């Protein structure tokens, strides 16, 4: 009873923030609560669930271990220390940064800036990279691999949640400023960009928008987490030729497949769906009537193919 009183008075973090930070959906958190008795949220003054920091840490460990193949029912009752031990054995919870890929050593200084929480130095370094490389190479050779490295480092436990958020905020500000500086051409196709409600990560969306703008497309971004019916209404209002969606690795493949199927069913056949990102569902499954892109370079091909087919 004493522990429950402590949880009730702890201000905690709301379920939407927990979903974003851990990659575990609200529905899954509620299912676990009913089925396994964990997590054990408190309630705020409005009766909404709030989660204390120690439970969020455990949820993050559970998410990493599930990614390594562990079943939640087998590990959810374990203590945090035991989960950390398992994560270390699985190669998902080490205290060192994610290993660099070929040429990745050049990214290490940027990762160090994130770890030092030096947002201004990181912003300056990114802006210098943009000037040096130009927008296309900046996105494909610097931002995209850097986003992947940060995601790997977070999954391995080297980055805290707030450090990943700091990185995201800085990159988003640089990308938005850069996209805004590209002269608008109002060319075809007319592309509507967003993510489905379960996808809170927007960096992939910004990278795709920058590539589309560079190739002369007309773009409107709705940001992240747009309900399907609102996407359909926006596409109709904007007379969109294409709806472009981004999917990170934090959304379950089944959710991706279901979301794409529902959107395809509700959109007119004349509106194409382009889906890209690091989600495993895009690499392993065929999606009917959806153009799947697993690399940013695929955008140029997709635009050229669309124009060829439509005589644009």
- 131: domain CATH number? 1.10.1240.10
* DSSP, res 197: T
pTM as predicted = 0.69
Q: Report long-range pairs for 302-308 (Cβ below 8 Å, ≥24 apart).
A: 302/274, 303/189, 303/212, 303/215, 303/216, 303/217, 306/188, 306/189, 306/241, 306/242, 306/272, 307/188, 307/189
pLDDT at 149: 85
In three-state secondary structure terms, 174 is helix
141 shares a domain with 78: no
One domain for residues 134 and 246: no
| DSSP-derived secondary structure for 112-170 | HHHHTT-HHHHHHHHHHHHHHH-HHHIIIIIIHHHHHHHHHHHHTTSS-HHHHHHHHHH
Range of the domain at 138: 104-180
Rounded to the nearest 10°, the torsion over CA 237, 290, 253, 161 is -50
| Domain assignment present for 99 | no
Q: Kindly give the confidence (pLDDT) of every residue in the chain, 312 residues in length, as a single tens digit, with 9 standing for 90 and above.
A: 334 443 344 467 888 888 877 778 888 898 899 999 999 998 888 888 999 888 988 888 888 777 666 788 889 999 888 888 777 655 444 444 444 444 456 788 999 999 999 999 999 999 999 999 998 999 999 999 998 888 777 766 677 778 888 999 999 999 999 888 887 777 899 999 999 988 888 899 999 999 999 999 999 999 999 999 999 999 999 999 999 999 987 777 888 888 999 999 999 999 999 999 888 788 776 677 899 998 888 999 999 999 999 987
108 and 193 together in one domain: no
In terms of domains, do 13 and 59 share one? yes
Strand partners, 36: none
Q: What gap in Å lies between CA 201 and CA 20, rounded to an integer?
A: 8
Q: Would 95 be classed as within a structural domain? A: no
Q: Which residue has the tokens 């309900």?
A: 227
- Extract the runs of DSSP E, i.e. beta strands, from 161-241: 187-194, 217-221
Gap between the Cα atoms of 262 and 254, Å rounded: 12
What distance in Å separates the CA atoms of residue 48 and residue 70, rounded to the nearest whole number? Answer: 30
Domain with residue 231: its CATH number is 3.40.50.280
pLDDT of residue 120: 96
Among 60, 90, 120, identify where a domain stops.
90
Instruction: Give the DSSP letter string of 75-112.
Output: HTTS-HHHHHHHHHHHTSS-SSPPPP-TTGGGGHHHHH
**Residue 198: per-residue pLDDT:** 83
DSSP-assigned beta bridge partners for residue 193: 221, 244
C-alpha 100/C-alpha 107 separation (Å) is: 8
Q: Which two tokens stand for residue 131?
A: 């000037």
Q: Of 180, 214, 236, which residue constitutes the final position of a domain?
A: 180
Q: Tell me, what's the pLDDT at 156?
A: 64
Q: How many domains does the chain have?
A: 3
Do 187 and 297 share a domain, yes or no? yes
User: From CA 154, how far away is CA 166, in angstroms rounded?
Assistant: 12
pLDDT of residue 102: 41
Question: What secondary structure letter does DSSP report for 241?
Answer: S
């Amino acid at each position: 009873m004493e522990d429950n009183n402590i949880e009730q008075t702890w201000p905690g973090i709301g379920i939407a923030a927990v979903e974003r930070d851990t990659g575990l959906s609200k529905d899954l958190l509620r299912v676990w609560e009913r089925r396994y008795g964990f997590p054990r949220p408190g309630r705020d003054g409005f009766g909404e669930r709030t989660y204390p920091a120690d439970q969020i840490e455990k949820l993050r460990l559970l998410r990493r271990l599930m990614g390594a193949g562990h079943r939640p029912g087998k590990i959810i009752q374990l203590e945090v220390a035991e989960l950390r031990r398992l994560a270390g054995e699985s190669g998902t919870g080490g205290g060192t940064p994610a290993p660099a890929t070929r040429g990745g050593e050049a990214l290490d200084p940027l990762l160090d800036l994130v770890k030092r929480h030096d947002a201004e130095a990181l912003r300056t370094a990114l802006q210098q990279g943009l000037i040096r490389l130009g927008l296309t190479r900046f996105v494909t050779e610097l931002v995209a691999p850097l986003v992947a490295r940060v995601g790997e480092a977070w999954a391995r436990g080297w980055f805290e949640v707030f450090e990943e958020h700091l990185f995201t905020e800085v990159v988003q500000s640089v990308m938005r400023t850069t996209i805004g500086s590209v002269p608008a051409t109002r060319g075809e196709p007319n592309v509507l960009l967003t993510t489905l409600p379960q996808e809170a990560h927007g960096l992939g969306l910004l990278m795709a928008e920058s590539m589309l703008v560079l190739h002369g497309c007309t773009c409107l971004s709705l940001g992240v987490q747009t309900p399907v019916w609102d996407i359909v209404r926006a596409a109709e209002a904007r007379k969109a030729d294409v709806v472009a969606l981004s999917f990170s690795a934090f959304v379950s493949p089944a959710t991706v497949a279901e979301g794409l199927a529902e959107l395809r069913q509700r959109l007119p056949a004349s509106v194409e769906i382009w889906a890209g990102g690091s989600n495993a569902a895009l690499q392993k499954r065929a999606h009917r009537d959806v153009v799947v892109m697993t690399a940013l370079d695929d955008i140029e091909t997709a635009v050229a193919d669309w124009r060829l087919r439509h005589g644009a």
